[in-house]
Amino acid sequence: MKFIGLDLAWSARNPSGVAVLEGDRHGARLMFSGVLGDDAELLAFLDAQLSGPALVAIDAPLSVPNLTGQRPAEAQLAVVFTRFQAGAHPANRTLLGRYNGGVLRGEWLKAALEARGFIDDPHHLSAPDARACVEVYLHAAMVVLFGLDRTLKYKQKGQGRATLLAAWAEYHRHLVALEQAEPPLTGLATLLAAEPLMLRGRALKSHEDEADAVMCAYVALYAHRFPERCEVFGSVAEGSILTPTLLERWKRT
């Protein structure tokens, strides 16, 4: 089974991170990670990957019916994760419609995946023959998977260089630890060989996109293995966000 992660740029003019894991509920290996360009390049890559069972986890809004404000998904997630500084940015058609001539890229990608036999269903991801796409939110996922008290400050915007590099060092340590996690993820050596201390500008942003895509893919793997340890905020109709959730919120079965 393939677990595909996409750190999808809101604008098709900006690169998007992508990662492909192969494995099953007991663990997976990173087979590819990198950055892709416009919509045509993204679809060509996905078409080469999607012949069999796959879960596609996308860090971008996939359904946005509201013209302004925020979706119920963001409001519900904020109740749980704001104390970790992991609330999600509001998603609405006015904000996202500023890009791509008013076409919301997440909705476009979801429609393209549905045309290829995928379903937007965050509730039934454990089947070995599943073909589904889901919206994820990495800051909340990292809080849970890495046991964080607050989000890692590894994004370039507004961060001092020392804070940025310290956060990247911690991010890399957590990625290394996934090899011993449950489920385990192997094959990260090439990704982790990059040294953020030596990267700036576009090169550092590409590494960020690539690492985040790997984490999106891992969230798909985790949800496949532990659906009872995940939570869905919102609804498919109004937009949903799937994330690993806090221990006290696990569904006991």
pLDDT tens-place string over residues 115-163: 999 999 899 899 999 999 999 999 999 999 999 999 999 986 777 889 9
Question: Would you say residue 252 has pLDDT above 70?
Answer: no
- Domains identified in the chain, total number: 1
pLDDT greater than 70 at residue 253: no
Q: What is the pLDDT of residue 206?
A: 96
Model confidence, pTM: 0.96
CA distance 132 to 118: 5
Q: How far apart are CA 85 and CA 142, in angstroms?
A: 11
Sheet with 185-186: list strands edge to edge: 119-120, 131-135, 54-58, 2-7, 16-24, 27-36, 185-186
Residue whose entry in the numeric block shows the structure tokens 């994330």: 243
What are the tens digits of pLDDT across the range 64-106? 999 999 999 999 999 999 999 999 999 999 999 999 889 999 9
The token pair at 209 is 């996109």
Full domain range(s) for residue 150: 2-249
Cα 11 to Cα 167: distance, rounded to the nearest angstrom: 26
